[in-house]
A = this chain, B = another copy of it.
Amino acid sequence: MTGIKEVAARAGVSVGTASRALSGNGSVAAGTRQRVLTAAQQLNFVRSYNASSLVTGRSRIIGVIVPSVDRWYFAKVVAGIAEELITVGYDLALYNIFGDRDNQDAVLEDFLMRQRLDAVVPVSLELKPEELTRMLSIRRPVVGIGGPMPGVPTIGMDHFAAGSLATAHLLGLGHERIAHVSGGIDPYRDFKLTDQRQAGFENEMKRAGASVRPEWIIASDFTLQDAYNKARSLLAMPERPTAVFAASDEMAIGVILAARDLGLQVPHDLSVVGIDGHELGETFGLTTIQQFPRQQGQQAARKLLQKLAKKTVPFAEGNETGGNDMPTTGESLPPDSLHELLDTKFVVRNSTAVPRSRARDLERQ
């Protein structure tokens, strides 16, 4: 194993000088640096990250905690973070929680504490206050993705606004009997996003004077399959909605498939809106509110790297500068400069239309 000692020896300098030449810290005469560099190259020297981590206290590893990498959203987020980190030579340590609280606790205890992470990106993690405290106690920068976390900068989208927008779109087309498929069961039970999207829906309905029927609020789990099954039941009822707002594209497509299998025509018999911007939506012509998880990941990573750059690593930040010019879509969330909302894009395709009854009325005129 060829270490920095050998390099120094070959270049005829001390290890200190060699280290300075190699790392770029401290001043080294141009000629000397060159000699060290070529010596290193000739010896095929690679610096031991362990050793330098030990003394510098920074590992160049960033932890990413996700509920489940194999879900569309999380996979994209991880890809975004990875994309950003790879360019600057940081490693990405992935912790997959599987929506399991025990796992989550284990991860928080076992890994975050092992001083080996320079920073952490919790994504869509619903932490209890004491867990949050624990996470912050490692005194490393934390940038979350998903919902806001007290005292932690986060990147996300405006769920309430998205719910409102989707609903307003349907109402605007003339729909009054609108169902909502939410993602609130099992592993995602206490995800705030579910409540917020639903709140946006209900709020908009109320504003328009449309009634929200409890039996038309369907709790699903973000999977196409489950939404399909539940939509079949819903749409088979004697009285059915003319439109469905699903809290995710996958669920929306489940609804579309269920409708098709029941012989209903989308959008004429049933309009469907989703949220996400899932690739599947293109093929199905799904009207949706696109978010950009990959960019959320990138943005979080950039924010983190920026924090890492200024060596000062505060425990928890009261308030941040320079975060106030962000696009705060709608007035749904209190202006919290810690929680950065990324823009979404409303994409109207042909899964939504004027309801059949209304269309007849219009023709008649």
Contacts and interface: CB of A to CB of B under 8 A. Distances in A.
A332 interface: no
Contact of A224 (B68, B89, B93, B279): B279
A49 B96 CA distance: 20
A349 B136 CA distance: 50
Contact of A86 (B54, B95, B279): B95
Interface string A279-320: 110111000000000100000000000000000000000000
Nearest to A77: B70
A59 interface: yes
Interface stretch (A105-113, A162-170, A335-343, A351-359): A105-113
A217 interface: no
B82 A283 contact: no
Contacts of A53: 50
Report the contact-size class of chain A (Cβ under 8 Å from the partner).
35 or more
Interface string A24-65: 000000000000000000000011111101100001010000
A228 interface: yes
A86 B114 contact: no
- Label chain A's interface by main secondary structure: helix
B82 A69 contact: yes
Copies of this chain per assembly: 2
B282 A225 contact: yes
Given A48-B54, A48-B115, A79 B69 contact: yes
A91 B78 CA distance: 16
A254 interface: yes
A47 B116 CA distance: 10
Interface string A251-281: 0001001001000000000000000000110
Contacts of A95: 82, 86, 92
Nearest to A52: B50
A228 B280 CA distance: 11
B49 A116 contact: yes
A127 interface: no
A94 interface: yes
Most central of A51, A53, A59, A95 by chain B CB within 10 Å:
A53
Contact of A93 (B79, B93, B103, B260): B93
A69 B85 CA distance: 14
Contacts of A284: 257
Nearest to A92: B94
Contact of A96 (B50, B82, B96): B82
Contacts of A79: 68-70, 96, 98
A134 B50 CA distance: 21
B254 A113 contact: no
Q: Shortest 10 CB-CB distances between A and B: which pairs?
A: A82-B96, A70-B75, A50-B53, A50-B54, A46-B113, A94-B94, A49-B116, A70-B79, A49-B114, A75-B75
25 contacts: A46-B113, A47-B114, A48-B114, A49-B115, A50-B53, A50-B54, A50-B59, A50-B116, A61-B93, A68-B79, A69-B78, A70-B75, A70-B78, A70-B79, A70-B294, A75-B75, A82-B95, A86-B95, A89-B110, A92-B94, A93-B93, A224-B280, A224-B283, A225-B280, A254-B283
